[in-house]
Amino acid sequence: MLSISNLSVSFGIRSVVRNISLNIECGQTLGLVGESGSGKSMTSLAVMGLLPQAAKESGNIFFNGVDLLSLSEKERCNLRGKDISMIFQEPMTALNPALRCGKQVCEVLQLHKKMNKRQAKEKTLQLFSEVMIPRPEESFRKYPHQLSGGQLQRVMIAMAIACEPQLLIADEPTTALDVTVQREVLQLLKKLQQQYGMAMLFVSHDLSIVLAICEKVAVMQHGVIVEQGSAHDIMINPQHSYTKQLINARRRKKKVEEHISSSDENNILLSIKNLSTTFVTKSSLFGKPLHTFTAVNNISLDLFKGETLGLVGESGCGKTTLGRSIMQLVTAQQGEIFFNGEQINHIQGEPLKQFRRSVQLVFQDPYSSLNPRMRIGEAIMESMLVHGICSGKKEAVDEVCRLLQKVGLDEIYYTRFPHELSGGQRQRIVIARALAVHPKILICDESVSALDVSIQAQVLQLLADLKKELGLSYIFISHDLGVVRQISDRVMVMQRGNLVEINDTEALFEHPQAEYTRRLIAAAY
C-alpha cells in the first residue's frame, strides 16, 4: 500500500531525513521508533504532504502505486483525511482553539463523506464513545482548552478514523494517555485496523509499545534507518548498537534516587487542606450557574522538603487541575494552601510573583506554553531577567547555555524557534526554563511523557541530581506508573477528583489498598 524509496528531507544544508526506504502492506502495522529529533515525524509529514515550505524533499512515496510527490496540492488534499489520515503528536496545536471539538470532527465527515449536519453529529458522538471520551454529548460542545490532554488526544483519534482511511499514520498517539486508556486505545486501533483492512504507520519513542502493536519495526537515528525487520526479530536479536541501547533503556528499572522518608512536621514545605476546585459547565443567559463540575474534591496532602510526591490517575481525574490550583492559575472554591507555613490562597501582586518563583510548573503541552515568536534562549532568559536572577545579559546568556547543556541540548538551540524543535526537545526547553529561577518546588505535569526512553532516563536522572544538589521538592504528575514508581518517594492516586490512596511508593505498589489502584497497577504491569 505504501512504498517509500530513497526519501530525503532537508532544510538548507541541514538534512533531517536521509535516503530512507520503507514498505507497508495492506492491513500491516509498521512501527517507526527512535529518539526525539531522529526524523520520525518528518517522515510522517512527508507522507501526508505537510512539510514546511522551507523543506526540500527527494525520492519517491508511492501510495497504491501513485507517487504522492508527483501530485498537485489539490490532489493531495483530496487524499488527506479520507484515504490517508494522521493522529498528530500534539493535539492542542492540531485542533482549532476557536471551534468546538465536535464541530471539528463533523467538518471532516461533511467534507469527505458528504454527510449532513445531523448525520455528522450522530457519527461524531459514536466516534467519541468508541475512543472513550467521557460524556460525549458534553465533550462535543466543549472547546479544546476545556478538555484534558488525554481527552484532546482521543478527539484527534476520533477525527483520524472518522473516514475509515486506508492508511493511518499515528504519531505518538498515546503519549498523553494514562496506562489504562493507553491500552484501550491501542486495542481500539488494532480492532479498527482489522475491521477495515487499514494499514498503519505507528510512530513512537516507546519501543515497548511499538513491539507490542507492530508486525514490523524500523529504527531511526539521526535521520537514517539503522535497522528494520519483524518485531520478533528486533526484540530477540537486535543487530544495531542503537537498537540494543533502546531495548536496554526500556528494561532498566533501577531507581534514580534514594528513598527519602520525611515525617517531621517541621519539614513540611507545602500543605493543602480540604481543597476543592469546581468549574461552571453551563450558565443561564444572565450568568447564573446551571451546571457545575468538581474537578478536585476535598483534597488534603503534605509535601515534605526534598521529597518527590507522585500523582497518578486516569485522564480527567483532576491531576492537572490540582497542580494549577496550587499555582493559583485556577481558583479553588474551598480549602487552604500553605507554603513554608504561610497561607497563600488568593495572594496577589508581588507576593504571588515571589511564590511563583519558588513553585514552578512544567506544563504538559510544551508547544502551547512557549511563545512561537520568541527564540529558545530568550524564552529561558526572560524569567531570569524578570526575577533578577542574573546581574546582566551576558551572565544570563551563559546561564541559559549551561541550562541547555543540563537538559541534554546543544548551545545551537539558543537561537532556534519552538517550531524548529521536536516535541521531546521542546519539553526539555520547558524544564530548563522552570529551573532558571531556582525554584524550591517543581510541579511536573507529564514532564517526560513526550520524551523517548533514553532521554526520559536522562531527564529523570537530572531531576534526581538537582533534587540532591539544590534540595528541590517535586510534585510529579504522570499517567506512567513505571516512571512514577522510579522517581517518587510517595505516591498519591486520584480518581474523578477524589483522593483514592496515598502511601510510600513501594508499599503502594506492592500492597495497594484500593481496587482502583490495583486496576491501574495491573494495567501498567
Q: What is the mean pLDDT of residues 27-35?
A: 92
Residue 265 has pLDDT above 90, yes or no: no
Q: What is the mean pLDDT of residues 256-284?
A: 73
Residue 423 has phi, psi (to 5 degrees) of: -60, -45
DSSP string, 167-196: EEEEESTTTTS-HHHHHHHHHHHHHHHHHH
Residue 127 has pLDDT above 70, yes or no: yes
- Residue 364 is given by DSSP the state S
At 47, which amino acid appears?
V
CA torsion, ordered 315, 91, 75, 122, to nearest 10 deg? 40
DSSP string, 16-67: EEEEEEEEE-TT-EEEEE--TTSSHHHHHHHHHT---TT-EEEEEEEETTEE
Residue 23 has pLDDT above 70, yes or no: yes
CATH value of 2-251 in 3.60.21.10, 3.20.20.140, 3.40.50.300, 3.50.50.60: 3.40.50.300
Where does CATH 3.40.50.300 sit in the chain?
2-251, 308-328+347-524
pTM over 0.75: no
Confidence band for 273, pLDDT divided at 50, 70 and 90: very high
Architecture field, domain 308-328+347-524: 3-Layer(aba) Sandwich (3.40)
Q: Are 310 and 491 in contact (CB under 8 A)?
A: yes
Residue 62 has pLDDT above 90, yes or no: yes
* Average model confidence (pLDDT) across the chain: 87
At 282, which amino acid appears?
K
Residue 462 has pLDDT above 80, yes or no: no
Q: What is the mean pLDDT of residues 179-206?
A: 81
Q: Lowest mean pLDDT: which of 158-162, 226-230, 453-457, 484-488?
A: 453-457
Nearest CA-CA partner of 403 in 390, 421, 387, 417: 390
Task: Give helix 423-435 / helix 393-406 axis angle, nearest 10°.
Answer: 130
Q: Residue length, the chain? A: 525
Confidence band for 253, pLDDT divided at 50, 70 and 90: very low
- pLDDT score for 256: 36
Q: Number of helices (H) and strands (E), helices first, in the chain?
A: 20, 20
Q: What is the mean pLDDT of residues 186-208?
A: 85
Predicted confidence (pLDDT) per residue in 77-125, tens digit: 889 888 999 998 777 788 999 999 999 999 999 999 999 999 999 999 9
| CA dihedral for 301, 305, 307, 312, sign (positive or negative) | positive
Q: Which comes out higher in pLDDT, residue 450 or 486?
A: 486
Nearest CA-CA partner of 491 in 471, 470, 511, 472: 511
Q: Which comes out higher in pLDDT, residue 163 or 249?
A: 163
Nearest CA-CA partner of 246 in 261, 264, 226, 275: 226
CA distance 131 to 375: 37
Q: Which comes out higher in pLDDT, residue 482 or 169?
A: 169
Q: What is the mean pLDDT of residues 54-60?
A: 93
Percent of the chain at pLDDT exceeding 70: 94
Confidence band for 255, pLDDT divided at 50, 70 and 90: very low
Confidence band for 66, pLDDT divided at 50, 70 and 90: very high
Q: Lowest mean pLDDT: which of 188-197, 249-258, 262-271, 513-522?
A: 249-258
Predicted confidence (pLDDT) per residue in 131-180, tens digit: 888 899 999 999 998 887 778 888 998 999 899 899 999 988 876 566 66
CA distance 380 to 414: 9
Name the one residue in this structure whose C-alpha cell is 477524589.
498
Confidence band for 262, pLDDT divided at 50, 70 and 90: low
